[in-house]
């Protein structure tokens, strides 16, 4: 059962954000809404500095706890059309504090001005930037929410196909993974989802795809080949229209021997991690930080932090916490510490900008 804070937030979101995100809202109007709430005063000791790169736009987000030992590469959500809000910066700072990471927030190009694959190319360029500047891939964890969560999965598929060293792991929060809209939750949860509506997200097809087949695994990673990918942690709310976007990807990845851990949180709104006053958000951030520490060589620290944070004993990493979390994972041999097998190298475009490889379509045309 959700906390009273979450129940109150769900009502507020139904009456505000869901209306803005509906079909009646234009991209320009929604961007103005986000931009008006984008400025943020950083806490003492924290900083946000632009990345010096000609291949993508981004900024380093650091807190006093940040260390170069762990890097969080973050792709924000926004329906592939909206810029990162101030809440994203604050979320990265909270993860930094818990995990000891330095955060690289990627401001990828947005539709409709820059349809697919521009945003994906920028995410891939950001990962290459880290490697080119000496960051060990074993110290990198990719993370993203909503559309950014989908871009995390697409980026992993493209990196694997180009035979680029894999990161240590990935975190996807309420990811958007299917432009074919086949999951039952897209309609079954339409009235329950306090933030997103199916009609609202349908706008993304024409604005982002611009003729790209919706079944392309790099726009709909629910159809991807996940062999060779590193461990992935997914968080999603039980009432979200994107619930099946997560579950279907997880089923496909587990069938291909990838370690894909799904946590379904009862009655949580879309990307509830952004609301720090929610007890569930505080716990979810701790879970994300724990995963990052485990994947980047800090398992002992992660278990100790869990025991201190919510009372779970260090020997019980899968214990229930009473918040209505539904867990499931598949255990495979997909590591994240070297070159994973792929299907050939991606070809670069004429202007020299890095681009992606394209995984094959689903076998036999089967839907996951």
User: Residue 38 corresponds to which tokens in the numbers above?
Assistant: 């984008």
61 φ/ψ angles, rounded to the nearest 5 degrees: -115, 115
Q: pLDDT band at 333, cuts 50/70/90?
A: very low
Domain positions in the chain are: 4-332
Cα–Cα distance, 68 to 167 (Å, whole number): 15
Neighbouring C-beta atoms of residue 291, cutoff 10 Å = 22
Q: Can 113 be counted among the known catalytic residues?
A: no
344 φ/ψ angles, rounded to the nearest 5 degrees: 110, 160
Neighbouring C-beta atoms of residue 48, cutoff 10 Å = 15
- pLDDT computed for residue 248 by the predictor: 97
Whether the CB-CB separation of 242 and 175 falls below 8 Å is answered with yes
- Over residues 91-116, the mean pLDDT reads 97
pTM: 0.84
pLDDT in tens, 222-264: 999 999 999 999 999 999 999 999 999 999 999 999 999 999 9
Whether the CB-CB separation of 109 and 119 falls below 8 Å is answered with yes
Integer angstrom CA distances of residue 341 from 152, 163, 188, 283, 353: 18, 7, 38, 35, 23
Q: Can 35 be counted among the known catalytic residues?
A: no
* Average pLDDT along the chain: 84
Partners of residue 49 on adjacent β-strands:
60
User: Residue 252 corresponds to which tokens in the numbers above?
Assistant: 């496909």
Active-site pick, 66, 85, 146, 174: 146
Whether the CB-CB separation of 233 and 165 falls below 8 Å is answered with no
- pLDDT computed for residue 353 by the predictor: 39
| Residue 83 or residue 327, greater confidence | 83
pLDDT more than 90, % of the chain: 66
Active-site pick, 98, 240, 263, 290: 240
pLDDT in tens, 172-229: 999 999 999 899 999 899 989 998 988 777 777 888 999 999 999 999 999 999 999 9
- Over residues 293-321, the mean pLDDT reads 54
Whether the CB-CB separation of 327 and 128 falls below 8 Å is answered with no
pLDDT in tens, 29-70: 777 767 766 667 899 999 999 998 999 999 999 999 999 999
Cis peptide before 117 (omega within 30 of 0): yes
pLDDT in tens, 60-94: 999 999 999 999 999 999 999 999 989 999 999 99
Cα–Cα distance, 231 to 269 (Å, whole number): 25
- pLDDT computed for residue 352 by the predictor: 35
Length reported for the chain:
368
- pLDDT computed for residue 274 by the predictor: 97
- pLDDT computed for residue 26 by the predictor: 72
Cα–Cα distance, 174 to 246 (Å, whole number): 7
Residue 180: burial class (beta carbons within 10 Å; 0-12, 13-18, 19+): middle
- pLDDT computed for residue 289 by the predictor: 98
Q: pLDDT band at 365, cuts 50/70/90?
A: very low
Closest listed residue to residue 80, CA positions, set 47, 52, 46, 113? 113
Partners of residue 327 on adjacent β-strands:
263
Integer angstrom CA distances of residue 66 from 76, 126, 145: 20, 19, 21
Q: pLDDT band at 1, cuts 50/70/90?
A: confident
Cα–Cα distance, 130 to 63 (Å, whole number): 19
Integer angstrom CA distances of residue 304 from 291, 310, 313: 13, 10, 8
Q: Can 300 be counted among the known catalytic residues?
A: no
**CATH topology for the 4-332 domain:** Rossmann fold (3.40.50)
Q: Give the rounded distance of the alpha carbon of 278 from its chain centre.
A: 20
- pLDDT computed for residue 336 by the predictor: 43
pLDDT more than 70, % of the chain: 77
């Amino acid at each position: 059962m959700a906390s009273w804070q979450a129940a109150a937030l769900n009502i507020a979101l139904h009456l505000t954000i869901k209306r803005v995100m509906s079909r009646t809202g234009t991209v320009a109007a929604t961007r103005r809404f986000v931009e008006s709430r984008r400025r943020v005063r950083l806490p003492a000791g924290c900083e946000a500095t632009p990345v010096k790169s000609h291949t993508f736009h981004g900024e380093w987000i650091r807190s006093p706890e940040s260390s170069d030992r762990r890097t969080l590469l973050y792709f924000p959500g926004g329906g592939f059309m909206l810029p990162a809000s101030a809440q994203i910066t604050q979320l990265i700072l909270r993860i930094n504090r818990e995990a000891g990471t330095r955060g690289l927030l990627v401001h990828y190009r947005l539709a409709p001005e820059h349809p697919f694959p521009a945003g994906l190319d920028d995410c891939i360029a950001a990962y290459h930037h880290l490697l080119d500047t000496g960051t060990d891939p074993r110290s990198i964890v990719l993370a993203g929410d909503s559309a950014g969560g989908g871009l995390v999965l697409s980026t992993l598929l493209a990196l694997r196909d180009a035979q680029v060293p894999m990161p240590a792991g990935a975190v996807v929060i309420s990811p958007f993974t299917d432009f074919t809209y086949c999951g039952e939750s897209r309609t079954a949860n339409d009235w329950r989802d306090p933030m997103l509506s199916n009609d609202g997200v349908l706008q993304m097809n024409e604005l982002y795809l611009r003729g790209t087949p919706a079944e392309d695994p790099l726009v709909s990673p629910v159809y991807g080949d996940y062999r060779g990918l590193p461990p992935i942690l997914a968080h999603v709310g039980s009432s979200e229209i994107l619930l099946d976007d997560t579950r279907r990807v997880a089923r496909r990845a587990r069938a291909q021997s990838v370690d894909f851990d799904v946590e379904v949180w009862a009655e949580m709104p879309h990307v509830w991690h952004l609301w720090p006053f929610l007890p569930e958000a505080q716990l979810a951030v701790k879970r994300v930080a724990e995963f990052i520490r485990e994947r980047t060589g800090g398992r002992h620290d992660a278990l100790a932090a869990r025991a201190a944070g919510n009372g779970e004993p260090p020997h019980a990493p899968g214990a229930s916490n009473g918040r209505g979390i539904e867990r499931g994972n598949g255990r495979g041999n997909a590591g994240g510490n070297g070159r994973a097998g792929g299907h050939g190298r991606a070809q670069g475009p004429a202007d020299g900008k890095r681009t992606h490889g394209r995984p094959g379509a689903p076998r036999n045309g089967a839907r996951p």
